[in-house]
Amino acid sequence: MKKSSSTDYAVQETSTDALSSKAYSLLYLALSYAASIGYFEDPFIKTMAKSKMKKMYPIINRGTWSRVHAYRKILDKFATLPGVRQFVSFGAGMDTNYFYLRHKFPELKLRYVEVDFQEIITKKLGVIGKSPALSQFNGDPNTYTMIACDLRDLKKLAEEFAKAKVDPKLPTLILTECVLVYMDPASSQALVDWCGTYFDNAALLNYEMINPFDSFGKVMVENIEVRPLPEPTRVGTRLQTAGAVRIRHLGETEGAARESLH
């Protein structure tokens, strides 16, 4: 398998940043905001983060809190609908959403598929294998599947989906949490379009930083700029336009697309 480039490695490292932010936020918000607004609970994050937890800006902690709550509110709603539910997480990184769902809904009938670079998959499997808390949920490949694939290679992605028997007919929630923004616009658009043809009944849950001009956006852009990421990703002013275009290609009007981004 082709080794990742320095640019790909920089993208992979954003997964570690996201995990660190969530782990620190769990502690930060428990102390600072529990009395007034509550905080998210995830018994698996600290296991997955291990020694990678680091202090983040307060504004990033608040952003992480809102990000996790908003995302998991939708995950919970989809998971509790009747019948078997399928989740497909692109660029899943070291995310713990699968373990969160299995822990919160023990009787849940689901298929959870994660796709990321080979390096990330190998690293994550290593952590899972050493943790009884995580490995207890990793015994059935028909429930939890990890696929090593570059999301820009749609031919290989289709082949891997066929091997893993990812069901295009199951109701599917596609997860892209801070992923598309790190791809060049043509590749991210191609991925979204491909999903529209592969799945019969699917919804896209996309979370991206879209406003580079507010205080939160400025911190995020600074974080992006210090990495050797693709030029289309590094220019903050393109974020809103790129996001709206992706959604328009799924059939929304421009006005509805922009509204859905806020």
Q: What is the pLDDT of residues 21-74, one digit of tens each?
A: 555 454 444 333 322 334 567 788 778 876 555 666 677 677 777 888 888 999
Identify the CATH homologous superfamily for domain 71-260: Vaccinia Virus protein VP39 (3.40.50.150)
CA distance 104 to 91: 23
What does pLDDT average to over the chain?
75
Domain spans of the chain?
71-260
pLDDT 10s digits, 111-126: 999 999 998 999 999 9
Query: Could you tell me the two tokens for 73?
Result: 């509110």
Helices (H), the chain: 6-32, 45-49, 58-79, 97-104, 118-129, 132-135, 154-164, 185-198, 215-225, 231-234, 239-248, 254-260
| 66 CB neighbour count, 10 Å cutoff | 11
Q: Which of 36, 28, 16, 15 is nearest to 57 (CA)?
A: 28
How does residue 179 score in pLDDT terms, banded at 50, 70 and 90? Answer: confident
pTM for this predicted structure? 0.77
